[in-house]
Amino acid sequence: MRVGHGYDVHRFGDGDHVWLGGVRIAHARGLIAHSDGDVLIHALCDALLGAVALGDIGGLFPDTSDEWAGLSGHRMLQLVRTRLESVGYVPAQCDSTLIAQAPRIAPHVPAMRARIADGLGVEVGAVNVKATTTERLGPMGREEGIAAHAVAVVMPL
Ligand SMILES: Nc1ccn([C@@H]2O[C@H](COP(=O)(O)O)[C@@H](O)[C@H]2O)c(=O)n1
Ligand SMILES: C[C@@]1(CO)OP(=O)(O)OP(=O)(O)OC[C@H]1O
């Protein structure tokens, strides 16, 4: 068994939705990114790569490459699973926390867990998603962006 941690932040910009945990959520602003801006899945993929000492998503999917423009969180999960398998590991379990004053996350958690589990090829029971505001403190509290933390456990194939 090995364990990894991931953290990511994306800033709000123009838009009418955000992608979080592979789920499209209507919102008055969007998240600025080279990909679909799914900050939760980015943190989770960094945790998975960290668990096997394979660096981070910036190394695997450089934002200087057109190949990864608009990359969806779900596809990123599939690609990271394949990368893990290539070094003899599979995802076993993950936990995550979104730090967002808005939008409201709780109603979307079941769909996020199902989508993440599908992308990783694990049972829904192996995936947890949580959210917290910062009680309006700091940049997330001022709704300047959304941050996410994740931890992941991987097991040998
Ligand atoms: N964007 C968010 C933030 C939080 N929640 C849920 O609200 C509850 C209370 O959050 P605190 O800020 O007091 O930690 C908690 O159960 C969160 O799941 C949310 O749905 N969306
Ligand atoms: C995902 C990638 C690639 O599309 O772009 P962004 O969406 O900007 O995300 P970030 O968390 O800054 O890092 C990884 C990037 O290379």
What is the ipTM, given to two decimal places?
0.92
**How much is the pTM?**
0.97
Q: How far apart are the two ends of the chain, measured CA to CA in Å?
A: 10
The verdict on the CB of residue 136 being under 6 Å from ligand 1 is: no
The verdict on the CB of residue 100 being under 6 Å from ligand 1 is: yes
pLDDT digits (tens, 9 = 90+) for 17-56: 999 999 999 999 999 999 999 999 999 999 999 999 999 9
Q: 15: how many CB neighbours lie within 10 A of its CB?
A: 13
Measured from the alpha carbon of residue 96, the closest ligand is 1
The verdict on the CB of residue 104 being under 6 Å from ligand 1 is: yes
Q: Which of 43, 137, 147 shows the shortest CA–CA distance to 100?
A: 147
Domain covering 2-156 in this structure, CATH number: 3.30.1330.50
> Where exactly are the structural domains of the chain?
2-156
